[in-house]
Chain A
Amino acid sequence: MRHVRGFDVARPLSIGMLVFMMLPLVFLPLASIFIFGTSNGLGNFWAALTAPEAIFALKLSMATSFWATLFNVLFGLFAAYVLSRYNFLGRNALIVTISLPTAIPTAVAGFALLLLWGPYGTLGRFLRPQGIQIMFTAGAIILANIFVTFPLAFGVIKPVFDTMSRSLEEASATIGATRVQTFWHVTLPSLRGAIVSGALLTFARAVGEFGSTILVSGNLAGRTQTAPLYIFAKFNEGQIEAANAIAIVLALFSFLIFSVLFFARDWLDVD
């Protein structure tokens, strides 16, 4: 009967419940960043944001995330190509291994890198006499980012490779194209959407990385302190406002990336 009159009580009720549940879990925490961040006036907010150390932390985050993303997209592309085009012994083992880093706690990842590259690490101890120190540099942050975001781009690109008809590449070959030409003109355009979304995912994840970064970077303000580390440090020092300014930037940044992924889906997947 309710349906006949076109009104279903369950509808507003369940929507209301959903929003109510999300309120303390997601909406309020996010809202408080913005409320507190600007509660002392926009002037103070701006000053906190443009403090040299804050600027440096943001720039370092962007730069290290950029290089990690570049590497992981290229690697993901290559790995997806090899693993979907060739069948060989241990193929599935490789696929599982590539995907493994997602399941490893980030602190463990950072710790593992330290054990390998640290001054007394498995490889690090041979590099130290040469004057090469990888840990506690920007390079270490990139390494940690790569490790932690390793499977993201691969995971997005591989399924597209798998579903891509083999006959497109064969057609290109019979028309006279070399493998490189085929990859460039035929394969790559079909992967455009997957590459862009894989890159955005990787970048977003790398910018926010904390657990592994804090172990391998040394957390030196103005030298190896990324934006999330800056938030943590300022909070510990009691400078809530400084921490809050950067938190707002990171939150907005992830909104932006997420919106692109969500609303440009049609464009990204265009066939």
Chain B
Amino acid sequence: MAQVARMMKQSVTPDFKESVSQTAASVVGVSKFFGKTVVLENISFDVAEGEALVLLGASGSGKTTILRIIAGLEQPYTGKIMLHGKDVTELPARERGVGVIFQSYALFPKMTVEKNIGYGLRIRKRSRKQIKQTVNELLSLVQLEEHRKKYPSQLSGGQQQRVAIARTLAYKPEVLLFDEPFGALDAQTRVHLRREIRALLRKVNVPAIFITHDQEEALELGDRIAVIRLGHIDQIGTPSEVYNNPATEYVATFLGAANILEGTIHNGHVEVGSVQIPARIDVAKFSEGQSVKLIFRPEDVSVSKTQTLPSGHACLLSGIVEEISFVGAYERLRIRLDPGGSAACDAGDTPYYLTTETPESQTAKPIIATRPKPESMATKLRQGDRVFIGLTSFTILPSDSRASPGPDSSK
């Protein structure tokens, strides 16, 4: 096992200089049309050595097309693909040395497990002895030794996937590309397998690009996540960056639940209806009177029966609990904001305050809050209770943005 890992490390850091080998793969300004439809629009990103990048997007957003272009199965209309500093845009798939794990695994049905794994070496005319040794190492790496003589149809989905991975590792790929690797599996196997694959990738240290439409999967698998919408990268960053500081409303809503309130910039504050939030806004990014969106996650909402919220939790407003539901691990509250209510939180030392002059429909919109069990046990709430609401964190985005100038976020 260690031998394979060593072999992989050597192979993916070939003779390039250190600075070059930091980036394993780059997609530079790639666009793609099918007929007259734009499927990809100026896509650029890098994958670092040993990194796992997840392309996250809805079905039809162009994820598979990006993968196929990197693998050389599809030609880009503009842009180029670099692998370890080498421009491979013009190279056919078979000369790129990229490992693709297809959605259906695409194992060769008439070959046994070991024949499948050894295929890359057989067509490279390696010696029988060498093939046997590598196949044995890979079989033990993916723990399929006792299945070596079986045919793909005799294996479970997870086992087939491991064969597919071993089959690409055999020829020391520059980068591994996974197209919806867990799509065909049941929920439990899926979680189990993605941890297994993550561990395997760390062991062999091969950079990987995963495709998924499952946000939970993306958060768990990726060192970084690129959120793709309609052939365009909305945001690329670490899981915590994209989750906590979404660059667009789409990113915010695609990765988990988000509350969105509309407001305007006024005197360097954000006004949501009658509520003013003196967020530390980068004035350069916003102009006076600009409409913005205040975005925050249900778990960033703190709820209190009293006017004092725990320190650091900025009081926003009060509201009435409309609905309480239990969603397994936590409690979910729907709260109708109540701007008309005269009761406001103590401004205290928090940087937020609110005014209650002109109630507007905006603030009368319900928001969703979630509370962990200990908290919901400590402070029991019932339908109709008046609560004071605070935010631990939120993001402010321009309203009309598709490609926004970037997130502005306060904590």
Binding site for B on A (CB under 8 A): 165, 167-168, 170-178, 181, 185-186, 189-190, 192, 271
| Among A170, A174, A181, A271, contact of B109 (Cβ-Cβ < 8 Å) | A271
- In the complex, what residue of chain A is closest to B110 when comparing beta carbons? A189
The digit string for B391-406, where 1 denotes a CB below 8 A from any CB of A, is 0000000000000000
Smallest Cβ distance from A24 to chain B, in angstroms? 46
How far, in whole Å, are A176 and B100 apart by their CA atoms in the complex? 11
How far, in whole Å, are A124 and B336 apart by their CA atoms in the complex? 94
Cross-chain contact A171 with B100 (CB below 8 angstroms): yes
Chain B residues 94 to 123 lying within 8 A of chain A, measured CB to CB, are: 94-100, 102-104, 106, 108-111, 119-120, 122-123
Cross-chain contact A174 with B71 (CB below 8 angstroms): yes
Q: Does B167 contact A (CB under 8 A)?
A: yes
How far, in whole Å, are A172 and B94 apart by their CA atoms in the complex? 8
Smallest Cβ distance from B108 to chain A, in angstroms? 6
Cross-chain contact B120 with A167 (CB below 8 angstroms): no
How far, in whole Å, are A85 and B122 apart by their CA atoms in the complex? 26
Q: Does B168 contact A (CB under 8 A)?
A: yes
* B92 contact set on A, CB distance < 8 A: 173
* A175 contact set on B, CB distance < 8 A: 94, 119-120, 123, 167-168, 171
Smallest Cβ distance from A54 to chain B, in angstroms? 43
Cross-chain contact B108 with A174 (CB below 8 angstroms): no
Cross-chain contact B94 with A168 (CB below 8 angstroms): no
Chain B residues 140 to 182 lying within 8 A of chain A, measured CB to CB, are: 153, 167-168, 171
How far, in whole Å, are A162 and B106 apart by their CA atoms in the complex? 16
Given known A-B contacts A167-B102, A186-B108, A271-B109, A174 and B93 have beta carbons under 8 A apart: yes
| Among A168, A173, A190, contact of B93 (Cβ-Cβ < 8 Å) | A173
Q: Does B124 contact A (CB under 8 A)?
A: yes
Cross-chain contact A171 with B102 (CB below 8 angstroms): yes
* A167 contact set on B, CB distance < 8 A: 102-104, 106
- In the complex, what residue of chain A is closest to B104 when comparing beta carbons? A167
How far, in whole Å, are A171 and B73 apart by their CA atoms in the complex? 10
* A165 contact set on B, CB distance < 8 A: 104, 106
How far, in whole Å, are A174 and B106 apart by their CA atoms in the complex? 11
Smallest Cβ distance from A268 to chain B, in angstroms? 13
Given known A-B contacts A176-B123, A176-B124, A171 and B94 have beta carbons under 8 A apart: no
Cross-chain contact A190 with B110 (CB below 8 angstroms): yes
* Secondary structure class of chain B's binding surface, majority of residues: loop
Further pairs besides A168-B109, A190-B110, A271-B109: 10, Cβ < 8 Å: A167-B106, A170-B73, A170-B93, A170-B102, A171-B100, A174-B94, A175-B119, A175-B120, A185-B119, A192-B110
Smallest Cβ distance from A76 to chain B, in angstroms? 20
The digit string for B65-98, where 1 denotes a CB below 8 A from any CB of A, is 0000001110000000000000000001111111
How far, in whole Å, are A177 and B95 apart by their CA atoms in the complex? 9
How far, in whole Å, are A170 and B73 apart by their CA atoms in the complex? 7
How far, in whole Å, are A9 and B269 apart by their CA atoms in the complex? 90
How far, in whole Å, are A202 and B123 apart by their CA atoms in the complex? 34
Cross-chain contact B94 with A176 (CB below 8 angstroms): yes
- In the complex, what residue of chain B is closest to A169 when comparing beta carbons? B106
Smallest Cβ distance from B167 to chain A, in angstroms? 7
- In the complex, what residue of chain B is closest to A164 when comparing beta carbons? B109
How far, in whole Å, are A178 and B95 apart by their CA atoms in the complex? 9
- In the complex, what residue of chain B is closest to A170 when comparing beta carbons? B73
* A181 contact set on B, CB distance < 8 A: 123
* A178 contact set on B, CB distance < 8 A: 94, 123
Cross-chain contact A168 with B108 (CB below 8 angstroms): yes
Most B C-beta atoms less than 10 A away, residue of A172, A174, A271: A174
- In the complex, what residue of chain A is closest to B68 when comparing beta carbons? A170
| Among B103, B110, B153, B171, contact of A176 (Cβ-Cβ < 8 Å) | B171
* B95 contact set on A, CB distance < 8 A: 176
Most A C-beta atoms less than 10 A away, residue of B106, B168, B171: B106
Given known A-B contacts A165-B104, A181-B123, A174 and B110 have beta carbons under 8 A apart: no
Cross-chain contact A174 with B73 (CB below 8 angstroms): yes
* B96 contact set on A, CB distance < 8 A: 174
How far, in whole Å, are A174 and B72 apart by their CA atoms in the complex? 8
Cross-chain contact B94 with A173 (CB below 8 angstroms): yes
- In the complex, what residue of chain A is closest to B103 when comparing beta carbons? A167
How far, in whole Å, are A173 and B123 apart by their CA atoms in the complex? 11
How far, in whole Å, are A178 and B122 apart by their CA atoms in the complex? 12
Cross-chain contact A168 with B106 (CB below 8 angstroms): yes
* B167 contact set on A, CB distance < 8 A: 175
Provide 11 A-B residue pairs closer than 8 Å at the C-beta atoms, listed in order of the A residue.
Answer: A165-B104, A165-B106, A167-B102, A168-B106, A170-B100, A170-B106, A175-B123, A175-B171, A177-B123, A178-B123, A189-B110
Given known A-B contacts A167-B102, A174-B94, A271-B153, A190 and B123 have beta carbons under 8 A apart: no
Smallest Cβ distance from A176 to chain B, in angstroms? 5
Smallest Cβ distance from B70 to chain A, in angstroms? 10
How far, in whole Å, are A176 and B91 apart by their CA atoms in the complex? 12
Smallest Cβ distance from A111 to chain B, in angstroms? 44
Cross-chain contact B102 with A177 (CB below 8 angstroms): no
What are the nearest 8 A-B pairs in CB distance? Answer: A171-B106, A189-B110, A167-B106, A173-B93, A175-B120, A174-B100, A167-B102, A177-B123
* B73 contact set on A, CB distance < 8 A: 170, 173-174
Smallest Cβ distance from B179 to chain A, in angstroms? 9
How far, in whole Å, are A196 and B230 apart by their CA atoms in the complex? 47
| Among B98, B103, B104, B124, contact of A174 (Cβ-Cβ < 8 Å) | B98
